[in-house]
C-alpha cells in the first residue's frame, strides 16, 4: 500500500532538488526536504538518457514498488528520486537496495 502522495508540480520538484539533502548511488540520486504538513510526497524522474519510454516506465515502476515495500519515514518528507542510466540494466534487488539506502540516508534527521 502506498504511504506517500506525489510531487506533481515542477516548482516542487525544483525546490526539493535545489534545497534538499542529497544521496547518490550507482542507479539513482535521491533528494529530500522536510514536508510542513500532511503525508510524505514522492517524485520519480527518469530522463531519456535512461532509455526509451518502455524502459523509463519500467524503472519508474520498480522505484515505486521498492518504496511501497519500505516503512513510512518517522516524519513527513518530500522525496525526489532521479534515475541514472545504470538503473535500466540493474536487477530489481540492486535497485531496491539503493532506494532503501537512499531513503535511510536522506530522510534521516539532520
Q: Average pLDDT for residues 7-28, to the nearest whole number? A: 93
**56-103 tens-digit pLDDT:** 999 999 999 999 999 888 889 999 999 999 999 999 999 999 999 999
Q: Average pLDDT for residues 23-42, to the nearest whole number? A: 91
Q: How is residue 82 written as a grid cell?
A: 532521479
Percent of the chain clearing pLDDT 90 (strictly above): 75
Mean per-residue pLDDT of the chain = 92
- For the whole model, what pTM was predicted? 0.92
User: Which range among 30-34, 37-41, 106-110 shows the weakest confidence by mean pLDDT?
Assistant: 106-110
Report d(CA 20, CA 70) in Å as an integer. 21
What confidence score (pLDDT) does residue 110 get? 59
Q: How many residues does the chain have?
A: 110
Number of other residues whose CB lies within 10 A of the CB of residue 88: 18
In the chain, where are the structural domains located? 5-106
- Domain 5-106, CATH among 3.20.20.370, 3.30.230.10, 1.10.10.10, 1.20.950.20: 3.30.230.10
Q: Average pLDDT for residues 23-51, to the nearest whole number? A: 93
Report d(CA 21, CA 110) in Å as an integer. 9
What confidence score (pLDDT) does residue 36 get? 82
Query: Helices H, strands E: what count in the chain?
Result: 3, 5
Amino acid at each position: 500500500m502506498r504511504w506517500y502522495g506525489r510531487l506533481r508540480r515542477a516548482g516542487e520538484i525544483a525546490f526539493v532538488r535545489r534545497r534538499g539533502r542529497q544521496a547518490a548511488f550507482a542507479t539513482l540520486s535521491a533528494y529530500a526536504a522536510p514536508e510542513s504538513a500532511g503525508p510524505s510526497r514522492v517524485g520519480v524522474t527518469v530522463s531519456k538518457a535512461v532509455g526509451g519510454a518502455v524502459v523509463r516506465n519500467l524503472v519508474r515502476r520498480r522505484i515505486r514498488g521498492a518504496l511501497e515495500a519500505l516503512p513510512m519515514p518517522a516524519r513527513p518528507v518530500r522525496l525526489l528520486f532521479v534515475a541514472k542510466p545504470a538503473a535500466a540494466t540493474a536487477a530489481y534487488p540492486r535497485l531496491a537496495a539503493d532506494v532503501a539506502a537512499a531513503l535511510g540516508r536522506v530522510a534521516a534527521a539532520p
